[in-house]
C-alpha cells in the first residue's frame, strides 16, 4: 500500500488511515468554526462599499463618509510615516462604515453606532466595533478613546459637516445647534466633551505634523 501524505515512510494500516482522515476533518471543522475568531477580520474597501449599498445608505451620507475617510487615511498615513504603528486597513474600514446606521437613527441618536455595531458583530467584523461605538462626539466623555485609530476616526468625523471640511469650532457649534438643543442633558454632554475634543485635535495634528488646515490633503470641499 502506498504511503499516505500524512504518514512518513511506512504505509498506514486501513484503520490508521481512517483515523487520520477523521482527525484532519475534525481539525478543519474546528479551525473553520472557531479559528476565525482568533485573528481579526477586516472588510476590504470593496466590501465596505457593498455594505453601504446593501444597507441603503443615502447618497449625502456616503459623501460625508468618503470625506471623513479621506481625512482619516491622510492623517493615519502621515502618523504612520512618522513611525507610529497604525492599522490602516482597520482605520479605512471603520471610517467607511462609521455612519452605516446614521439614516436609521436621526431621531433616536442614542442608538447611533449601536445598530452598526450589532450588524458588524453578526458579520464577524468585531474588530471595528470599538471605533464605531466611540466615533460619536460625546463618546469621548464615556467610554473615552483608547487607540490611535479611534482618535483619528473621531477627529476626522469632527472635521466634516455634511460633506464639507470645516474647523472644529464650526463643527462643534453645529452639533450644539442640531443636537444640544434637544435637551439640557444633551447640551451638557456636548459641553463636557468640548475641551476633550480640542485636546484630541492638538494630539492628532502634532503626531501628523500638520496644522488644522491639513496641508497636503488633496481632495476637499
Ligand atoms: Fe460621521
219 CA to centre of ligand 1 in angstroms: 17
Q: Count the neighbouring beta carbons within 10 Å of the beta carbon of residue 38.
A: 7
Q: Are residues 31 and 59 in the same domain?
A: no
Q: 99 with 15, same domain?
A: no
**Residue where the block lists cell 490508521:** 16
Mean model confidence pLDDT for the chain: 88
Residue 143 three-state SS: coil
- In this predicted structure, what is the pLDDT of residue 2? 47
**Helical segments of 98-183, H only:** 114-122, 129-133, 148-158, 168-178
Task: Tell whether the model's pLDDT for residue 3 goes beyond 50.
Answer: no
pLDDT band at 90 (very low <50, low <70, confident <90, very high): very high
pLDDT at 1: 46
**Could you tell me the residue range of the domain that residue 24 belongs to?**
11-40
* Residue 193 clears pLDDT 70, i.e. is over it: yes
Q: Do residue 143 and residue 117 come from a single domain?
A: yes
Provide the number of structural domains found in the chain: 2
* pLDDT confidence band for 38 (50 / 70 / 90): low
Do 112 and 182 belong together in one domain?
A: yes
pTM: 0.81
Give me ligand 1 centre to Cα 193, in Å: 16
> Residue 95: pLDDT above 60?
yes
CATH number reported for the structural domain that contains residue 61 in this entry: 1.10.3210
CB 140 within 8 Å of CB 195? no
* Gap from CA of 132 to ligand 1 centroid (Å): 10
Amino acid at each position: 500500500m502506498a504511503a499516505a501524505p500524512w504518514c512518513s515512510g511506512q504505509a498506514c494500516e486501513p484503520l490508521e488511515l481512517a483515523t487520520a482522515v477523521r482527525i484532519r476533518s475534525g481539525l478543519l471543522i474546528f479551525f473553520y468554526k472557531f479559528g476565525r475568531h482568533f485573528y481579526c477580520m477586516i472588510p476590504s474597501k470593496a466590501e465596505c462599499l457593498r455594505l453601504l449599498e446593501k444597507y441603503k445608505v443615502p447618497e449625502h451620507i456616503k459623501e460625508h463618509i468618503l470625506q471623513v475617510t479621506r481625512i482619516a487615511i491622510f492623517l493615519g498615513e502621515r502618523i504612520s510615516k512618522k513611525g507610529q504603528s497604525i492599522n490602516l486597513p482597520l482605520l479605512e474600514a471603520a471610517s467607511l462604515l462609521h455612519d452605516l446606521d446614521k439614516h436609521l437613527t436621526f431621531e433616536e441618536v442614542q442608538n447611533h453606532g449601536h445598530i452598526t455595531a450589532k450588524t458588524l458583530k453578526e458579520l464577524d467584523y468585531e474588530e471595528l466595533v470599538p471605533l464605531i461605538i466611540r466615533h460619536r462626539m460625546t463618546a469621548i466623555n464615556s467610554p473615552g478613546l483608547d487607540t490611535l485609530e479611534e482618535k483619528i476616526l473621531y477627529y476626522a468625523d469632527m472635521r466634516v459637516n455634511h460633506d464639507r471640511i470645516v474647523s472644529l469650532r464650526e463643527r462643534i457649534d453645529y452639533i450644539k445647534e442640531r443636537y444640544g438643543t434637544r435637551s439640557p442633558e444633551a447640551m451638557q454632554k456636548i459641553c463636557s466633551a468640548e475641551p476633550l475634543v480640542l485636546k484630541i485635535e492638538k494630539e492628532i495634528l502634532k503626531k501628523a505634523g500638520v496644522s488644522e488646515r491639513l496641508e497636503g490633503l488633496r481632495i476637499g470641499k
